[in-house]
Amino acid sequence: MAKIDLDRRAEIGREKRARTRAQILEAGTMLLAERPPEALTVDAIVEAAGVAKGTFYYHFQGIEELAAAVGERLGESFDDLLTAARLELPDPIARLSFAFTQFLDRAISDPVWARLVVQSSHAPTEFARSIRAHLKADLTEAIDQGRLTVRDVEMAADIVLGIWLQVVRSSLERRPAPDLAGQALRAVLRALGA
């Protein structure tokens, strides 16, 4: 009689647990969008999430673990936007252009997401590494096809990421100009010599 009871109990637990965990994750996301993790306190998180301090430690080991979880979700959001491009576009430059525009549109329409990405770009996180790796794969392919003036992959990646990040930062401070994404993309392609 014990077996079924225990499994069911655990399942109920997981559901309730998941809801509260999501609240904390959401609060953490908002706060990490406006300050670096070093400046984030557990008290601030639990206040924003509307839970008790003990609850935070029931779900996370500490702020680092929360930051890692937020980073993972951020990485998934990038993957979501990338999947379409990777499957449908065989041309590396078209793929890169599509992804660049997708990410930029998202940043413009979702400032919290944009702030979070900008903050995350400061400390080199796992997801930042992954993005740069994806980008370098496309750029290497394009360079091997002799379609770029730039020959150094690292320099090419810096150009794309640098312009993207700075345009995103600008879009958070000023009202984004119309066709911002298009203008930025054309500048990137010119810089790469595509």
Where do contacts with its own copies occur on this chain (CB under 8 A)?
35-36, 38-39, 122, 124, 149-150, 152, 154-155, 158-159, 161-167, 169-170, 173-174, 177, 180, 183-184, 187-188, 190-193
> Measured between alpha carbons, how far is 63 from 156 in angstroms, rounded to an integer?
34
Total residues binding DNA (CB under 7 A): 29
User: Is residue 38 near DNA by the rule CB under 7 A?
Assistant: no
22: left (phi over 0), alpha (psi -120 to 50) or beta: alpha
Max CA distance (Å), the chain: 72
Of 155, 179, 49, nearest in space to 105 by CA: 179
Structure tokens at 67: 């930051």
Q: CB of residue 180 vs its own copies: minimum separation in angstroms?
A: 8
Work out the angle between the directed axes of helices 92-109 and 111-122 (0-180°, nearest 10): 110
The CA radius of gyration of the chain, in Å to the nearest whole number, is 20
Q: Of 51 and 104, which has the nearer Cβ to its own copies?
A: 104
Q: Of 18 and 84, which has the nearer Cβ to DNA?
A: 18
Q: Read off the DSSP letter of residue 110.
A: -
Instruction: State the binding string over 51-90 for DNA (x if CB under 7 A, else -).
Output: xxxxx-xxx--xx---------------------------
Q: Catalog residues that contact DNA under the rule CB under 7 A.
A: 4-6, 8-10, 12-14, 16-17, 19-20, 40-44, 50-55, 57-59, 62-63
